[in-house]
Structure 1
Amino acid sequence: MSSQASQASQASPTFAKAVYDLASIALNELEQAHLDGSVSRTPVNQTHYLNAWVTKAIKTQRFAHCVAAVLLVWQQQGRSLGKHAQLKQTFENIVRIYGSFLSEQGSLAKVYETQIDALFDQLAETGWSLITDSVIDRKMKRNSAGMDSLVICRQQYERAIHPEEKRLIRPLSCYIRGNVEQLISLALAENLLLFKVTDYKSKVKYHGEYIIYPSNNGPFLAQFPA
């Protein structure tokens, strides 16, 4: 095993670092297979290679345990969707997006209230309805008059922000109905990652739940723009 692969097989401090290492190694080894002539650069052959690569990574337990679940998802997608699983594109997105969040040491920067406020301001400017004064402790309905809407629990928000340092210290749920692709893009512009819990049913009727984690340190794969 290469030294790069050996490093990735060790337990990583964050899911972000582990999945970034995994995707980087997959793409590097695919490129090496192109260079040595064992795999052509056609989408079909690339797909076959990466599907087999994922299965081998699972069988050999090559990577950190925190990425085991997403490897199984990719394996199932490869088997059921074939070339439409788009694993190469997924790995490229992981390298590009997670790579922009990780430092050279593999750590993640803290998330501050100013970033969240800037996201909310951008949403308001593009016509979203922002409902930030609710207490969400049970199933409820919030009327946004047909507008794209974001709802957060006021109490959860207050607990999630450190009172002096003004940084995010607990996961913050955002209940979303509307143009999720736009939301993801605007969040990325503020150096925020969104993690989907559900895209429809949640505590707020007709809204999906997405979470912003402290330091963007979500335990599973973040949402990427289409």
Structure 2
Amino acid sequence: MTTETYNQALLTLALAGIEAINTSASQHKAVRTPAQESHFLCNWMVESLKTKRFSKLMADDLTAWIRQARSQGAGAQLKRLLICIADQYQQANNSEIATGTGLKNMLAGLTAQEWVVITDTDIDAKLKLDSDGKSSLIISAKDFNQHIVDEKIVKPISMYIRGDEKLVARLALEQGILLSPGNKKTSLIKHHKTYVLMPSNLHQSLCLLCLDQY
């Protein structure tokens, strides 16, 4: 039996949520306000969690989104979140670009925008990079040379980034790549955050989303 991945469980939930709110909207003549949409989806998520409709992999996400909706109301923008998840995870799933090739294309794109991109140095201790104020991305040479085989990412790759993470996420998505949210605590480069790339984009939690496109 094939074990359901986090990505599969997340996409199933997102598509079901979008279908539920669209179906509900079609049954009402008046256009719903963002607050009403948020209220509907919050209740839908509460019921889904209560009845265990979706994989247990979704329990933490559902709990967090319900909490956000209850505290922020329309500001939680649950419909926008679900549409963003569905679009971006499906885009990554449908990409025909090998992940290793996609990473190299992304790095070339950042270099063209005058980022400092370093992939030829082993990173195994805390370091400080003097990049004269330029945005920068560093990947340990060991990861870059050994974790890409036949143009595919086969082991996790850590990227240390200081710069516009929305730009990096957008360029990555264009290449069919999903990256983790940034983590300042695990970074080996001062003033940088760690972002992780996974083989086949199989992260264990929600990836960094390009919400500003929605």
- Note whether the superposition's TM-score is higher than 0.5: yes
Match of 2:125 in 1: 138
Which residues in structure 2 correspond to 1:126-165 (within 5 Å)?
126-162=113-149, 165=150
1:125 aligned onto 2:129: no
Match of 1:62 in 2: 53
Residues 172 and 211 in structure 1, CA contact (< 8 A), matched pair in contact too? yes
CA distance in 1, matches of 2:71, 2:163: 29
SS, match of residue 139 in structure 1: coil
1:26 aligned onto 2:17: yes
Q: CA RMSD in A?
A: 2.2
Instruction: Return the match for 1:77 from 52, 68, 80.
Output: 68
Per mean C-alpha deviation after superposition, the further-off stretch among 33-42 and 206-215 is 33-42
Deviation at 1:134, TM superposition (A): 2.5
Match of 2:163 in 1: 178
Deviation at 1:72, TM superposition (A): 1.8
Letter of the aligned partner of 2:144 in structure 1?
Y
TM-score (norm 1): 0.84
Q: Assess, with a 3 A threshold, how the Cα gap between structure 1 residues 137 and 120 changes in structure 2: closer, same or farther.
A: same
Residues 92 and 173 in structure 2, CA contact (< 8 A), matched pair in contact too? no
Residues 33 and 39 in structure 1, CA contact (< 8 A), matched pair in contact too? no
SS, match of residue 133 in structure 1: coil
Instruction: Return the match for 2:175 from 190, 206, 209.
Output: 190
TM-score (norm 2): 0.89
Number of matched pairs: 210
Structure 1: state its 5+ residue gaps: 1-10
Sequence identity (%): 30
Q: Assess, with a 3 A threshold, how the Cα gap between structure 1 residues 209 and 89 changes in structure 2: closer, same or farther.
A: same
Map Cα deviations across residues 46-84 of structure 1 (whole Å, 9 max, x no partner).
111111112222222211122222112212211222111
